């Protein structure tokens, strides 16, 4: 019979094993980089879709990078930021989003604990959503762009 504690321990052990494999194996590192690049592409697509439906225009620059523009209205000055995937690293206006790759799920996640949700005692600490990290960085960069 497996208890919740044992299931959590097995999940944690699997994460440690996969992280070790990725750090030590050249082939695994190449696969991990490719997986991270795909995950970053998916994340940027989700982020652009989220913003596009709420007053932002999506386009691409001459290099094929995603560009989000807050259209100038009577309520906003307008602003533009470029979103890039540079080898799996998500860059917003040249600033790197603080993201880690979860080796079990194959998805990007924030590096800090998610304070939006209440921590359930006995469960692993939930990481901040990658989409929230990117949205916050886009928002910060948009504000900086609007000031200049």
Cβ atoms of 83 and 63 within 8 Å: the answer is no
Task: Report whether pLDDT(1) > 50.
Answer: no
pLDDT tens track for 46-97 = 999 988 878 788 888 888 888 888 766 556 567 888 999 999 999 999 999 9
pLDDT tens track for 91-124 = 999 999 999 988 778 899 999 888 887 878 888 7
What does the alpha-carbon distance between residue 81 and residue 78 come to, in Å, rounded to a whole number?
A: 11
77 half-sphere exposure, CB direction, 13 A CA radius:
8
How many other C-beta atoms lie within 10 A of the C-beta of residue 59? Answer: 11
Which pTM was predicted? 0.74
Which secondary structure element, helix H or strand E, spans residue 128, and what is its range?
Answer: strand 127-129
State mean pLDDT over 120-138: 89
The SS3 call for residue 63 is: coil
State mean pLDDT over 10-26: 81
Average pLDDT, the chain: 83
pLDDT attached to residue 77: 66
């Amino acid at each position: 019979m497996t208890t919740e504690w044992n299931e959590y321990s097995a999940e944690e052990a699997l994460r440690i094993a996969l992280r070790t494999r990725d750090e030590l194996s050249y082939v695994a590192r190449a696969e991990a980089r490719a997986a991270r690049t795909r995950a970053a592409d998916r994340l940027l697509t989700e982020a652009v879709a989220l913003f596009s439906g709420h007053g932002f225009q999506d386009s691409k620059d001459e290099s094929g990078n995603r560009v989000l523009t807050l259209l100038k209205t009577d309520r906003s000055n307008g602003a533009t930021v470029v979103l890039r995937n540079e080898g799996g690293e998500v860059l917003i206006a040249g600033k790197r989003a603080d993201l880690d790759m979860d080796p079990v799920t194959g998805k990007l996640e924030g590096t800090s604990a998610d304070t939006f949700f209440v921590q359930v005692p006995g469960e692993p600490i939930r990481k901040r959503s990658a989409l929230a990290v990117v949205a916050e960085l886009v928002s910060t960069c948009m504000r900086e762009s609007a000031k200049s």
